[in-house]
Chain A
Amino acid sequence: MQLTVWTYEGPPHVGAMRIATAMKGVHFVLHAPQGDTYADLLFTMIERRGARPPVTYTTFQARDLGTDTAEIFKTAARDAFERFDPDLMLVGASCTAELIQDDPGGLARALNLPVPTITLELPSYQKKENWGAAETFYQIVRGLATEAPAPKPEGAKPSCNILGATALGFRHRDDVIEITRLLNQLGIDVNVAAPMGATADDIRRLPQADFNVVLYPEIADTAARWLERQYGQKAVRTIPMGFQATCEFVREAAALAGVDPEPVLSQHGSHMPWWARSVDSNYLTGKRVFVFGDATHAMAAARVAKEELGFEVVGLGCYNREFARDVRACAAELGVEALITDDYLLVEETIAALQPELVLGTQMERHIAKRLGVPCAVISAPVHVQDFPARYAPVMGFEGANVLFDTWVHPLVMGLEEHLLTMFREDFEFNDAAGPSHLGGHAKLEAAAKPLPEPESAPVAAQVASQDTIMVLNWSPEATKELAKIPFFVRGKAKRNTERYAAEQGLETISIEALYDAKSHFAR
């Protein structure tokens, strides 16, 4: 058993629902107890979908367990087929139905429905949402994309599929539009984008493309590898998030398509590189940022943070173990240790210990950052209603790079404001407890976060882990007071550095001198 407060991922059948809901003409019959219908609201409320997810739940109850739950399943499947008239049926079981072992696949076959019916094995006690989505997409592709492509007519344009966008994905809707536009500019046709928007017939047409674009490996990697084995379709695996990655993506796609990338690269039209180089952005240099999310978004964000905004990445992690190896390698390049966990409490501990100036994370890290009084921008699922903006806001492609710049820089205190806060600490209106002046409502959070006790209180004890010993350090009242004069957005770092310095020097009490010694020691 695993003690869980919040979860990053739902169960695998929710992943299957994300595929079914993203596609057209698909219906999913889920053997599940009463209550599992809660999952509908993820789609209708968070994503504001104007239609129910195409899912029929058998919603059996305790009194049904003694009778015939298999019959309930068959009735539900037959009724759903008649009512919704799908081109493709999916059948599966949620965690409780898995235990009663009714074999939805066998029951569905016995109904002899006149459309393809795919049975999903979703081991709820081993796997999670992303795995369930990837498995479902793979089974659909494997089940339907069975015909080898017809020979290509002479002079036909190069074409590709865009794979991986689902319902409830982080900005998938706009990423697909942006990347489709980019590929079209290169002279590449998009044969099929799937699963989002695809029909069963579209899936059958997948092998006709020259290559695949794997936009979200968490969802599409398994299917893309099968397509490559089966039909020799190569895949573009660079994730076009950030300016440089988008350029690399363009070159990679152009190479596979046999087209010239230069016209697109020379006319990218992105503001991002200049915004980053402009003198106003100088104050972004070396901001300490913690990055956490799904592996794909976290790794891409870490690179953008370091190389395109000039931040310092002080922590990197992901919640999905399937891509842990890649994240570890990426973290090693950045000189940090990767945090691979789905334990929300551990992520919180890590952020609190690292004292970053900005958190790039999921909605979970947004909560953590709010509690700690640290600015935060969301870069990855799990999603929240705010992650479905009304406006066009991709995070991929050249426009996506612009969006990343704005959304990551916006939560920070602006450059000149930083200087004023540093110089005039005791201004009654304009002080750091008030938070960034262009963002409202931060004062209370800052107070709630309580980074430090009042200066006049007794010396503060701090625990510092140094090598394998834990030392208890005391802050002198004078040093505590001096620390409070450092603006909040760097105070955490100053405190941490000073304590590390004191631990290394074997100091028992931190004096004002130790504070400034530490400052010069860690000067960058």
Chain B
Amino acid sequence: MSDAVTLISPTSEARPVLRERGQREVFCGLTGIVWLHRKIQDAFFLVVGSRTCAHLIQSAAGVMVFAEPRFATAIMEERDLAGLVDANEELDRVVDRLLSRRPDIKLLFLVGSCPSEVIKLDLSRAAERLTKKHSPSVRVLNYSGSGIETTFTQGEDACLVAMIPEAPVASEEAPASLLVVGTLPDIVEDQFARLFNQLGIGPVAFFPPRNSQSMPAIGPNTKFLLAQPFLGETARALIERGAQHLPALFPFGAEGTTHWLKAAADAFGIPELHFLAVVAPGRERAKRALEAQKVHLAGKSIFFFPDSQMEPSLARFLSRELDMKLIEVGTPYLNRQLLSAEMDYLPETVTLSEGQDVDRQLDRCRAAKPDLVVCGMGLANPLEMEGISTKWSIELVFSPVHGFDCAGDLAGLFARPLYRRSVLKV
């Protein structure tokens, strides 16, 4: 069914990809809660899992959320597993306590975990039951962020898929509208909204919304752009709702952003000259900002460990706009359809790898002696200790990096470790 996602030039099918299975040094999908719970301001994420799940989210969040977070874990205990108590009754009790503490919550996600999946706790039935019980003040949805099914950013994909049935149906007569899909920092949303407005594209909605009460309507005249490359299942669910996908490069850097905006402009019949006039100032600003970072990055080699599925798009940006040399671009999962345009833009010499055997990948990395390694926090300091500069990949998910006005900042994230190494005399 995913054949419906047609993309620009599907020529990359033959490209060799190194597939590995072994220890994967990646987060599970629960980690997405760290940014999702801030984005949707009236939503609460209740993980149904173990103490490990609770510990993971708090460690990934760095225990940095000073306000009471809009997430929690219903920790399963021995009596839940031994059948001494009814897990569903227990869940109802926990949800009652939670909602009485937080009457401001309008949307509650029950988030499945490895243990809840393994014991086959049916959270979709629980969500239905709890929706009935707490209707109309609270809607209860469910998705799985378990590590056995999702890797890191796939948690957001699963969350968005769960939200799509909540979106009102736009009729066939509704005027064409644009939907931008994927969590973006508020400031980036505002930057894109201004650009679409200047282009004359509208109405434009962003998904997920900042508030669950303002879900965008979706129908056959909805055209959508993916803001993130890891939203394959969300794209499929939107297409099933009749929406049309606008394939494009992802909006990283001047080139990616122009390409991405152009896909929307073409779909909305915006004249070429008007398009060029609108994007020119932003594109120029981006190029100027990139020139400043290029001093640190041009000619330097880079090696990506798999993390967020953003790796091929970021590699394309670094290679084409900053002249970096790509050694290996690892990704936890390579969505060949969504990324076919990106792959066409990657140099032939780069190794694309999917999945992971971390020890073997570290061997390749050490042998290649890259100038910069993009990796998770578990690997960064050990590599630094070996004398290899690193960039924590999680920052790329947590920072405003999309669009013209963040292109310089995005390049800066890669330049800073190299610049820092050149400054330090200790």
Which residues of A line the B interface, CB within 8 A?
1-7, 9-11, 13-14, 33-42, 44-45, 48-52, 56-62, 64-65, 76, 79, 83, 94-96, 99-100, 123-126, 128, 363-364, 367, 370-371, 384
The answer to the question of B137 belonging to the interface, with a C-beta cut-off of 8 Å to chain A, is: no
List 9 tightest A-B contacts by C-beta distance, closest first.
Answer: A35-B28, A35-B147, A40-B378, A50-B385, A96-B114, A95-B50, A41-B377, A10-B55, A34-B147
Q: Which of A38, A52, A83, A94 contacts B59 (CB 8 A)?
A: A38
**Are B377 and A33 closer than 8 Å at their CB atoms?**
no
Q: Which of B86-94, B160-168, B204-212 contacts A (4 or more CB under 8 A)?
A: B86-94
A7 touches B147 (CB 8 A): no
> CA–CA, A44 to B381, complex, Å?
6
Question: How far apart are the CA atoms of A364 and B63 in the complex, in Å?
Answer: 8
Whether A35 lies near B94 (C-beta < 8 A) is no
A125 touches B23 (CB 8 A): no
Q: With A3-B72, A45-B381 in contact, is A34–B58 under 8 Å at CB? A: no
Q: Which residue of A lies closest to B30 (CB)?
A: A35
**Smallest distance from the beta carbon of A469 to chain B beta carbons, Å?**
23
Which residues of chain B have C-beta atoms less than 8 A from A36's C-beta? 28, 52, 56, 147
- Is B74 a contact partner of A44 (Cβ separation < 8 A)? no
- Is A33 a contact of B382 with CB atoms below 8 Å? no
Q: Which residues of B contact A37 (CB under 8 A)?
A: 23-27, 378
Give A57 to B381 CA distance when docked, in angstroms.
Answer: 19
Decide if B55 touches A7 in the complex (CB within 8 Å): yes
- Report A-chain residues with C-beta under 8 Å of the C-beta of B380: 44-45
Which of these, B24, B50, B78, B378, contacts A96 with CB under 8 Å?
B50
Contact of B74 among A1, A9, A11, A83 (CB under 8 A): A1
Decide yes or no: A4 and B75 within 8 Å by CB, A33-B28, A96-B118, A100-B118 being known contacts: yes
Write 21 A-B pairs (CB below 8 A) sorted by A numbering.
A1-B77, A2-B74, A5-B69, A10-B52, A11-B52, A11-B55, A34-B26, A34-B148, A35-B30, A35-B56, A40-B25, A40-B377, A59-B22, A59-B24, A96-B50, A96-B148, A99-B119, A123-B78, A125-B50, A125-B80, A363-B63
- Within the complex, the shortest CB–CB distance from B21 to chain A, in Å, comes to 9
CA A302 – CA B39 in complex, angstroms? Answer: 42
A33 and B147 form a contact (CB under 8 A): yes
Q: Which residue of A lies closest to B377 (CB)?
A: A41
Q: Name the residue of chain A whose CB is nearest to the CB of B380.
A: A44
Secondary structure call for the A interface? mixed
Return chain B residues, CB-CB under 8 Å to A4: 51, 54, 72-75
Cβ of B395 within 8 Å of any chain A Cβ, yes or no, is: no
For the complex, is B232 an interface residue (Cβ under 8 Å from A)?
no
* CB–CB B50/A124 < 8 A: yes
B384 CB to closest chain A CB, in angstroms?
A: 7
Q: Is there contact, CB below 8 Å, between A99 and B115? A: yes
A-chain residues with CB within 8 Å of residue B344 when the two chains form the complex = none
Size band of the B side of the interface? Answer: 35 or more
Interface residues of B (CB under 8 A from A): 22-31, 48, 50-52, 54-56, 58-60, 63, 66, 68-69, 72-78, 80-81, 87, 90-91, 93-94, 97-98, 114-115, 117-119, 146-149, 151, 359, 376-382, 384-385
CB-defined contacts of A125 to chain B, threshold 8 Å: 50, 76-78, 80-81
Query: Nearest-CB distance from A127 to chain B (Å)?
Result: 9
A94–B55 Cα distance when bound, in Å, is 13
Identify which of B26, B147, B149, B380 gathers the most chain A CB atoms within 10 Å of its CB: B147
Is there an interface contact between A65 and B118, defined as CB atoms closer than 8 Å?
yes
Q: How far is the CB of A517 from chain B (nearest CB, A)?
A: 37
Most chain B Cβ neighbours within 10 Å, of A41, A52, A100: A41
Partner of B23, one of A6, A45, A50, A56: A56
Q: Would you call B58 and A1 a contact (CB within 8 A)?
A: no
CB < 8 Å neighbour of B72 from A5, A364, A384 = A5
Instruction: Give me 19 other A-B pairs in contact (C-beta within 8 A), A41-B376, A124-B50 excluded.
Output: A1-B74, A1-B90, A2-B75, A7-B51, A7-B54, A33-B114, A39-B55, A41-B377, A45-B381, A57-B23, A59-B22, A61-B148, A76-B22, A95-B50, A96-B50, A124-B51, A125-B77, A371-B66, A384-B63
Bound-complex Cα distance A91 to B23 (A) = 15
Asked if B379 contacts A11 (CB within 8 A), the reply is no
Q: How far is the CA of A58 from the CA of B148 in the complex (A)?
A: 12
- Give every chain A residue within 8 A of B58 (Cβ-Cβ): 6-7
How far apart sit A45 and B379, CA to CA, in the bound complex (Å)?
9
**Which of B28, B73, B382 sits near A44, CB closer than 8 Å?**
B382
Q: A41-B376, A125-B76 are in contact. Are A1 and B94 (CB under 8 A)?
A: yes
The one of A35, A83, A99 that contacts B118, using a Cβ cutoff of 8 Å? A99
User: In the complex, which residue of chain A has the Cβ closest to the Cβ of B63?
Assistant: A363
Q: Which residue of chain A lies nearest to B381 when distances are taken between CB atoms in the complex?
A: A44
Bound-complex Cα distance A233 to B158 (A): 57
**A44 CA / B56 CA spacing, docked (Å):** 15
Instruction: Find A51's partner among B28, B118, B385 (CB 8 Å cutoff).
Output: B385
**In the bound complex, CA of A65 to CA of B147 (Å):** 12
With A95-B52, A125-B81 in contact, do A48 and B63 touch (Cβ < 8 Å)? no
Instruction: Flag if A44 contacts B114 (CB, 8 Å).
Output: no
Q: Which chain B positions have C-beta within 8 A of A83?
A: 359
**Cβ-defined partner of B28 (8 Å) among A6, A34, A126:** A34
What residue of chain B has the Cβ atom nearest to residue A57's Cβ? B23
Docked pose: A96 CA to B115 CA in angstroms: 5
Chain A residues whose CB sits within 8 angstroms of the CB of B77 once the complex forms: 1-2, 125-126
Minimum CB–CB distance from B307 to chain A (whole Å) comes to 12
Which residues of B are found within 8 Å of A76, using beta-carbon distances?
22-23
Q: How far is the CB of B56 from chain A (nearest CB, A)?
A: 5
